Structures are given as structure tokens and as C-alpha cells.
């Protein structure tokens, strides 16, 4: 090969190598921006339990919190903002949690007491991801646990029921016998005891949160036996209670068939029968923790407890059609002040309830 041909060949090799190097450098820069750089905006998502995102209760309240957070921060529903995956069975929990992590959401919520095992499994595998679980505790550094003082909300509901009943027969329908629901029950009974010691509370558990037909059957028996106010902490099972109350009210408009809802203000479930609702502000907690995490204050490994003082629980407005509305409002406010000041400690266990003496 003469010098001219060798020079051309060498130039070609050098040019080709330079171009390839430039292309490689360009690709590396792109990957660094995508994988190593900061995302343009914070993203958050949640996994529902089997009740579904529109359960009119717990999951729906959680989703409303995410929607509010998204709107306040200019986010849109989807992978680049806020989103949810719905679980049809227990087997979906780990899959859905893992899917959201792989979609690169900055914070992933597990909604409900049924998910601690799934959260622990995925959070252990995905140590760089951040998780939050509602109504359960997972002791891992990348998991924040959100709990509520349901007994305080239940207590206020008990005050309202005790001030409303004409038969002194009140009902409580629980979903499953778990600490979360039992705190509602204990607080409710304590509230009734504080405001109307002569009233009795009939307690029954459905054994499920997604069986409206069971809620309907239990409610029917309670109303038939003389109850005129029934409080439920039963998720989707409580839908059966609303149906029974609405049906009875339609047939006997002059008779009281009051319902006290739970978690969110359930007034939309029956304007003629919903007395009030024991608010469990999951929406407030979800929005609050999302904001903290976005601002670099993720409380990993901690328990965040929300009660009356944190606006995490409360009581929805009393129905304008309630004959004793003014009396209920005044009494509820009085007890709220006592609880917030520490003058009254609302019981949260059966043992504490036995020893409870309202002041």
C-alpha cells in the first residue's frame, strides 16, 4: 500500500472512531440525565385494597387526598403525576406495589391493614423506593406508617347518637374485628355512655368489608328490634346499611332510621337518613405526608399518628333535619375541647372502656 492510500485509510478510521465516540458520549449523557439526574416533578401513587377506589369510604378518601395533592402541585393523573392501581384480590397487592415502583413513582401508598406483608416484601427488595402504609405499621427505614385515633372520632359519633336516639337502642356494625375497627367501636360506646348512660349499644360484626348484603341483613335486624341510630365502620359492607335505612324511610317517612357514616362525609348516601359521619381524614394524612416527602422530609421508619389535634379525625356536620341538631352541635364541641385539652382521654381498648368514667 502506498503512502497516499495508507493516509486515506488511516483518516477514515480516525473519523469513524471519532463519530462512534461522539455517538457513545451522546448516549451516555442522555442516560445520565434520565437515570442519574433529578426528575422534573414529584410523582405519587397508591394501591387500593379489594374495596376499590370508589368504595364511598376508606379508599375513596385516600384517593381524594392524592387528587388534592396533585391539583395543588400542578400534577396530572398518570405516570408523570399521580395515579392508582386497584386490587381485585389479596394476590394483587405485591404485584401492584412492584408495578408502581418500576414505573418510578417517588412515593407509593398501600391503603389498608391488609397490606403490611406485601409492603414489607417489596420494600425489602426495593430499598431505594419510598412507601407509606395506611392503618398498619411496617418497621423498615423506607416505609412510613400512618395510623389514626379512630376512637376519638367514634366518641364524637357516640355523642351524636346518644343525643339523637328516642328508643335508647343504638347499633354498631363493624367490618372485621381488627384494632382499627375496634377503636371505632370502643370510642363510640364511650361517647354514648358519656352523653346518655341509659342507652344500650348493640354491636355486631359482618366479618368482611365488601359484603353489602351482610350489612343489609344486620341493619334490618337492628332496626326491627328497635334501634333508631346505627353507626357503621364496615367499608363497602356499610352500603347495605344505607340501603336498608333508605328503603325503610321511604316506606315510613315519619319514623327515624338514622345512619352514622365513617371515614368520609357520607351524607350523599342518604340525605334523609345520614345523621353525620365519623371522619377519618385519610385524605388529610395522605396529602400531608405526600407534601412532606416532596419537600425532602420523608418520615421513613416512623409512625405518623393523626387525631383530633392534627385534624386527622372529626365529625361531619349534623343533618339539618335532626330535631336535636343544636344540642348535638353544642355537646360535640364541648367534648372536642375536653379531648384536645387533655382533660378527657378517650378509651381505645375494651379494658380502658371498662374503666372509663366521663367527666
Q: Is residue 222 classed as helix, strand or coil in its secondary structure?
A: helix
Rg (CA), the chain: 27
Q: Are residues 333 and 350 in the same domain?
A: yes
180 lies in a domain? yes
The pLDDT of residue 18 is above 90: no
Is the C-alpha dihedral spanning 177, 181, 187, 189 positive or negative? negative
Average pLDDT over residues 59-87: 96
In a domain, 226, yes or no: yes
When the pLDDT of each residue in the chain is averaged and rounded to a whole number, the result is 90
Residue 274 CA to residue 257 CA, distance in Å, equals: 9
Do the domain assignments include residue 17? no
Closest by CA position to 328, among listed 229, 237, 241: 229
Q: Are residues 331 and 193 located together in one domain of the fold?
A: yes
| Structural domain harbouring 242 | 150-280+324-355
Backbone φ, ψ for residue 44 (5° rounding): -150, 145
Nearest to 238 by CA among 190, 277, 293, 188: 277
Q: Are residues 231 and 172 in contact, defined by beta-carbon separation less than 8 angstroms?
A: yes
Q: Which of 111, 131, 148 is the last residue of a domain?
A: 148
**Is the pLDDT score of 188 beyond 70?**
yes
Q: Specify whether the CB–CB gap between 314 and 308 falls below 8 A.
A: yes
Distance, CA of 88 to chain centre: 17
Q: Mean pLDDT across the stretch 164-190? A: 97
Give, for 291, the enclosing helix (H) or strand (E): helix 282-294
Say how far apart CA 314 and CA 336 lie, in whole Å.
Answer: 9
Domain boundary among 110, 127, 148: 148
Q: Tens digits of per-residue pLDDT, 218-242?
A: 999 999 999 999 999 998 899 999 9
pTM of the model: 0.83
Structural domain total, the chain: 2
In a domain, 309, yes or no: no
Q: Let me know whether 173 and 86 are in one domain.
A: no
pLDDT in tens, 306-357: 999 989 999 999 999 999 999 999 999 999 999 999 999 999 999 999 999 9
pLDDT tens for 247-285 read 999 999 999 999 999 988 999 999 999 999 999 999 999
Amino acid at each position: 500500500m502506498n503512502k497516499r492510500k495508507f493516509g486515506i485509510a488511516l483518516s477514515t478510521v480516525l473519523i469513524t472512531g471519532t463519530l462512534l465516540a461522539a455517538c457513545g458520549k451522546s448516549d451516555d449523557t442522555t442516560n445520565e440525565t434520565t437515570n442519574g439526574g433529578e426528575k422534573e416533578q414529584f410523582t405519587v401513587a397508591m394501591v387500593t385494597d379489594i374495596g376499590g377506589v370508589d368504595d364511598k369510604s376508606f379508599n375513596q378518601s385516600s384517593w381524594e387526598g392524592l387528587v388534592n395533592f396533585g391539583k395543588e402541585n400542578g400534577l396530572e393523573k398518570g405516570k408523570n403525576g399521580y395515579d392508582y392501581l386497584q386490587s381485585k384480590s389479596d394476590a394483587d397487592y405485591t404485584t401492584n406495589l412492584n408495578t408502581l415502583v418500576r414505573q418510578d413513582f417517588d412515593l407509593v401508598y398501600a391503603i389498608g391493614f391488609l397490606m403490611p406483608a406485601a409492603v414489607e416484601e417489596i420494600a425489602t427488595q426495593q430499598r431505594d423506593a419510598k412507601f407509606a402504609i395506611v392503618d398498619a405499621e411496617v418497621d423498615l427505614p423506607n416505609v412510613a406508617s400512618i395510623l389514626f385515633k379512630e376512637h376519638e372520632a367514634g366518641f364524637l359519633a357516640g355523642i351524636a347518637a346518644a343525643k339523637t336516639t328516642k328508643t335508647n337502642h343504638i347499633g354498631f356494625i363493624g367490618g372485621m374485628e381488627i384494632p382499627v375497627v375496634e377503636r371505632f367501636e370502643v370510642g363510640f360506646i364511650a361517647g354514648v355512655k358519656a352523653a346518655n348512660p341509659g342507652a344500650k349499644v348493640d354491636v355486631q360484626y359482618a366479618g368482611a368489608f365488601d359484603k353489602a348484603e351482610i350489612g343489609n341483613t344486620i341493619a334490618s335486624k337492628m332496626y326491627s328490634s328497635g334501634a333508631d341510630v346505627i353507626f357503621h365502620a364496615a367499608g363497602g359492607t356499610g352500603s347495605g346499611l344505607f340501603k336498608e335505612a333508605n328503603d325503610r324511610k321511604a316506606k315510613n317517612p315519619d319514623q327515624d332510621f338514622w345512619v352514622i357514616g365513617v371515614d368520609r362525609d357520607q351524607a350523599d348516601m342518604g340525605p334523609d337518613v345520614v345523621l353525620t359521619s365519623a371522619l377519618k381524614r385519610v385524605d388529610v394524612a395522605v396529602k400531608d405526608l405526600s407534601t412532606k416527602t416532596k419537600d425532602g422530609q420523608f418520615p421513613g421508619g416512623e409512625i405518623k399518628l393523626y387525631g383530633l389535634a392534627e385534624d386527622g379525625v372529626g365529625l361531619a356536620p349534623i343533618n339539618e333535619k335532626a330535631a336535636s341538631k343544636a344540642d348535638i352541635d353544642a355537646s360535640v364541641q364541648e367534648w372536642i375541647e375536653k379531648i384536645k385539652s387533655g382533660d378527657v382521654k378517650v378509651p381505645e381498648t375494651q379494658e380502658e372502656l371498662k374503666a372509663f368514667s366521663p367527666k
